[in-house]
Structure 1
Amino acid sequence: MTELITAVYAGDVDAVGRLLATGAPAEAADEDGTTALYLAAVADGGVHLVRPLLAAGADPERPSGDGELPLCGAAVHGYADVARALLAAGAHPDRAEPWGSTPLSWAVRNGHAPVVRALLEHGADASRPAPDGRLPLVGAAIHGSVATVRALLDHAAPGRETALAEALARRDRDLTAELRAALLARYDEPLTTAVRRVPGEDGTTVVVEVLRDGVPIAGDEYRTGHAEIAALPATAG
């Protein structure tokens, strides 16, 4: 493992800057092919690592490891500042990873409205379906993220009527019980579950986890904005 990769793993901004200044290649990767830029893009506070790497010539479009893209990594984690830095450096907002996921589909799936807005402002295609075949607006409504729905509507995303119908269909359902049942169905052993409610700017996120001996081994989540989404006007205006 190179010194630069070690510094990025450690989140050592000063060391990264020093190594780049003394000639360390910005395109360095670890033994698995994971690039320094990708590691920085998915790190908490990674924008302070991403910017010097980009300035030193790291390619924002270079796939990492098994094909993961830095912009997709930032979208998964909701790092809007990283996404904007990558987009400004030339990352394509619609480039898909090998399994079909785009930055927008990741951001929508995880309810990261600021990333969605950044992508749309840089030309991401709001009419491109996710790997599951759903339009971004419909996916956002299903996941109950009001802020993500509004971001997409602000950019004239198609699928409004279907999105509102999906939100309405989920408004009165016990989604916690549905997630719990779906998670437990993956296992052939008696397991317990736990539910956490996490308040946030985009409403409450309900997290359902499967536990083995008290340790989470799987989970899923949804936001509770279905009623608010279902109440939006059925047509633009």
Structure 2
Amino acid sequence: MSTNAPTALLFPALYEGDEDAVVRLLRAGVSPEAVDEDGQSALYLAAVSDRPGVVRLLLAAGAEPDRLSLGTDAPLCGAACGGHTEVVSALLSAGAYPDTVEAFGFTALTWALRRGHPAVAEALLVAGADPGRPGPGGEPPLVTAAHRGSAGCVRALLAHGAGARGEALAEARRLLGVGVEAELREGLARAHGSGHAFAVHRHPSPEGVTVEVRLLDAQGRPFAGDDLQTGHAEIVALLKASTTRSGR
């Protein structure tokens, strides 16, 4: 890793979205593949920070869109996880492979579905992401979207021919039965043990409501949490109609 001053200046400019400064530094010879003191690549950090202009500058200067930061983190996956649609489009336009696999078997589509970002999912599917590629646990993408409660992601997958519609319908119905809050609390208890105090927050989202459950420590501070969307009833209707039409 280069430790000269211009390279060190790239990262503050990146975080601030100062595109003029990024251009000057690249013209001064800073590598578009530069990494910070922790080894994270400039392209990955720009992608997860939702800096599409900086991403385009780094790509135009020669940054490899699919190079894994720290050998584990793909820029496309980081952008998809954050719901950064413009960054995802910039990376895809520069040749990023839509089914690039990062650590633990995650793809960008898996992240988009797990976090409920339908516009990102649609962009990836249009670019050729496989609507049937299983996630890290072997779950079909449509089941992942149904569990998340994102009707928009379900629609995108159905439009691109995703299978496992019966399994996804069963999952959406299951969530309707147990309830999103109960599902989140059970999952957190499995991961962190039972008996913790918790707080529930409901946030408006483009698709309705997102329910977040946070576990609290003895001082009332959150130390773990998870969230799901609440589109399961709409998803049941979508999948019932889809399975009726297709016979699947």
Short-chain TM bin: over 0.9
Structure 1 counterpart of 2:11, from 5, 16, 33? 5
Q: Does 1:201 align with 2:206?
A: yes
Structure 2 counterpart of 1:132, from 134, 137, 147? 137
Give 1:174 shift.
Answer: 2.6
Structure 2 counterpart of 1:183, from 182, 188, 196? 188
Partner of 1:16: 22
Distance in 1, Cα, partners of 2:123 & 2:36: 29
Q: In structure 2, the residue corresponding to 1:235 is in which secondary structure? A: helix
**1:92-124 deviation line (CA, Å, top 9, x unaligned):** 000101310011111111111111001001000
Change (3 A) 1:27 1:219: same
Structure 2 counterpart of 1:32, from 32, 35, 38? 38
Structure 2 counterpart of 1:235, from 229, 233, 244? 244
**1:121-150 deviation line (CA, Å, top 9, x unaligned):** 100011110001111011101111100000
Give 1:71 shift.
Answer: 0.2
Q: In structure 1, the residue corresponding to 2:146 is in which secondary structure? A: helix
Distance in 1, Cα, partners of 2:87 & 2:226: 25
Q: Which consecutive residues of structure 2, in runs of 5 or more, have no partner in the other structure?
A: none
Q: Which consecutive residues of structure 1, in runs of 5 or more, have no partner in the other structure?
A: none
Larger helix percent:
2
Residues 98-117 of structure 1 aligned to structure 2 (within 5 Å):
98-117=103-122
Distance in 2, Cα, partners of 1:97 & 1:178: 27
Distance in 2, Cα, partners of 1:149 & 1:188: 32
Give 1:14 shift.
Answer: 2.4
TM-score after normalising by structure 1: 0.93
Distance in 2, Cα, partners of 1:179 & 1:219: 8
**1:145-191 deviation line (CA, Å, top 9, x unaligned):** 10000011111111112211211122122331232243245446853
Q: Is the 8 A contact 1:35 1:64 kept in 2?
A: yes
Structure 2 counterpart of 1:56, from 57, 61, 68? 61
Q: Is the 8 A contact 1:104 1:124 kept in 2?
A: yes
Q: In structure 2, the residue corresponding to 1:205 is in which secondary structure? A: strand
Distance in 2, Cα, partners of 1:167 & 1:132: 18
Distance in 2, Cα, partners of 1:88 & 1:14: 22
Q: How many residues align?
A: 236
Q: In structure 1, the residue corresponding to 2:215 is in which secondary structure? A: strand
Give 1:75 shift.
Answer: 0.7
Give 1:214 shift.
Answer: 2.8
RMSD across aligned C-alpha pairs, in angstroms? Answer: 1.7
Distance in 2, Cα, partners of 1:190 & 1:134: 29
Distance in 2, Cα, partners of 1:6 & 1:145: 35
Distance in 2, Cα, partners of 1:53 & 1:223: 34
Q: In structure 2, the residue corresponding to 1:132 is in which secondary structure? A: coil
Partner of 2:77: 72
Distance in 2, Cα, partners of 1:184 & 1:154: 36
Q: In structure 2, the residue corresponding to 1:41 is in which secondary structure? A: helix
TM-score after normalising by structure 2: 0.89
